[in-house]
Amino acid sequence: MDQADAIVVGSGLAGLAAAAELGDRGKHVLIVDQEPRSFLGGQAFWSLGGLFMVDTPEQRRMGIKDSRALALNDWMGSAQFDRDEDAWPRKWAEAYLDFAAGEMRPWLHAMGLRWFPIVGWAERGGGFADGHGNSVPRFHLTWGTGPGIIEHFVRRCEEHEKAGLIQFHFRHQVDRIDMENGAAKGVSGTILADDTAARGQKTNRDAVGDFALRAPSVIVTSGGIGGNFEMVRKVWPTDRLGPAPKEMIAGVPAHVDGRMIDISEQAGGHVINGDRMWHYTEGVKNWDPIWPAHGIRILPGPSSMWFDARGNRFAPPALPGFDSMGTLREILATGFDYSWFVLTQKVIKKEFALSGSEQNPDLTSKKWAEVIKQRVLSGGNATGPVEAFKEKGEDFVVANDLSTLVNGMNQIAGGNLIDEARLRRQIEARDAQIDNPFSKDAQMMAIHAARNYRGDRLLRTAKPHKFLDPANGPLIAVKLHVLTRKTLGGLQTNLEAQMIGADGQTVPGLFAAGEVAGFGGGGYHGWNALEGTFLGGCIFSGRNAGRARSIA
């Protein structure tokens, strides 16, 4: 006998969105997760909370003219869909844009979400209007960051739990999706021992029992593979990006392990675009780690100079915040798996933000007084978390002169790859461009363009200044690692989030949403993401799954 109308595997943002919608419809739902209840919300808890939305009041107040048509041009120029199997991902992309330019903001606002008034300009692109990148700022930072998003979906699910419509099963690790006559009938697996690890830490996998749960619909929302380096390397697109890095750091907890992907395929699902992924080039090792190989991404403004391991400046569009995958390809083409930022204290104060809710306690707190204290009244200092990395992070070098800086860089990296004279020539040439409000240097042009946007001028782009002038110091160098993050491909689904098998037919009773489904369809980003589309995709695909007519 069925114990519920649907089973949701995974209690992250997509799973909570699906379950909340099912509960609203009066459906009985079992939510199964291998982690403790304290991990509720999954990876989204650790996020900065940015959402890609189009033509919003926040944009209009900042003087930004946006439209669905412009967003579609940006999305398709970034996605570069080039495979037959991209038919469903393309439909998902267009459906998400309808959502992002229409119902998304008022629906979330009615739920209780609010946003920072200055819209961020992420992933600015590869240089052409019809290519990759956001033409305008679209990154809406949620007030409260990641926890500020999930709290509303957690609240909705817990209200349904109190009403008897939702039941949570934590420390239940799904090993099989049970099928009968080609249709889903439930899940079974291993009950894991209790674990009191703090949220995000690696938990035990000690078996204490077995379980089996039955329902005619199973929705897999188990996330991607970013915490599993072995899986990342297995699907790494060497032909497109070059060889996988020898050293990587993890932007997600260990529970983002990808284990439900194979389990879903064994049940009849079909993974497409498995070689599409989204990793960052601006990762630094966390001096106070929570999970194994814990890395943090620097969200840079446009002013830091970017050099390869030998101290050669990257050519545009390998500029901070412009083209993540293009820059990753350029870094790996050097034969090394790391690179360097060189900047000043004035740049780090104005332009460095660290990704993640825990690295932005002021924004996470939802207290304007804390935001003003950290970002306005801090004198010449950056935010507290950024200054802590500058002081304690093993990837940071701080010096009053270039000679000392280069010595520190070579000491961190090993060997003497950075030649001081060559590095000095490149910085001096850049500094010579500061004397005029115009320039032939593409990065300086980008800085001037950024400061034309009020939001960047206020909070994200330092006034142009000479790096080698001691008045602007100290000088800072940051060793940057490849940081694993998102899986762009995944289980193929139709617009109701039903899994589609290798034969092109829907698999009765099987659904997928969130990162495990490439955020929709098996990869609605295509080859490149525009940022804010990960959390947005979890919300949208989870909502679609929860509203699916085929879950009767």
Per-residue pLDDT, averaged over 39-62, amounts to: 97
**Dihedral sign computed on CA atoms, order 230, 231, 234, 237:** negative
- Side chain identity, residue 185: K
- For 391-418, what is each residue's pLDDT tens digit? 999 999 999 999 999 999 999 999 899 9
Tokens of 113: 């979400």
Residue 504 CA: distances (Å) to CA of 268, 459, 493, 494: 11, 48, 10, 10
Identify the pLDDT of residue 375: 87
Return mean pLDDT, the chain. Answer: 97
Instruction: Place 37 in a pLDDT band, splitting at 50, 70 and 90.
Output: very high
Tokens of 344: 């000043």
> Cis link prior to 361 (omega < 30° from 0)?
no
CA separation for the pair 305, 249 (Å, rounded): 22
Contacts of 19 (CB under 8 A, 6+ apart): 8, 29, 31, 157, 160, 166, 546
- Side chain identity, residue 145: T
- For 502-551, what is each residue's pLDDT tens digit? 999 999 999 999 999 999 999 999 999 999 999 999 999 999 999 999 99
Instruction: Place 58 in a pLDDT band, splitting at 50, 70 and 90.
Output: very high
Identify the pLDDT of residue 413: 96
**Other Cβ atoms within 10 Å of 452 Cβ, number:** 10
Residue 77 predicted with pLDDT over 80? yes
Identify the pLDDT of residue 430: 98
Per-residue pLDDT, averaged over 256-269, amounts to: 98
Give which of 296, 297, 293 is closest to 202, Cα–Cα. Answer: 293
Per-residue pLDDT, averaged over 47-76, amounts to: 98
- For 159-218, what is each residue's pLDDT tens digit? 999 999 999 999 999 999 999 999 999 999 999 999 999 999 999 999 999 999 999 999
Identify the pLDDT of residue 146: 97
Per-residue pLDDT, averaged over 455-484, amounts to: 96
**Other Cβ atoms within 10 Å of 61 Cβ, number:** 12
Residue 552 predicted with pLDDT over 80? no
Give which of 16, 3, 509, 532 is closest to 223, Cα–Cα. Answer: 16
On the CB side of 391, CA atoms within 13 Å amount to 9
One-character DSSP codes across 44-67 = GGGS--EEE-SS-HHHHHTT----
Asked if 322 and 126 touch (Cβ cutoff 8 Å), the reply is: yes
Tokens of 542: 């989870």
CA separation for the pair 484, 267 (Å, rounded): 28
Contacts of 140 (CB under 8 A, 6+ apart): 50, 51, 52, 53, 56, 58, 115, 116, 119, 120, 532
Tokens of 335: 């034969």
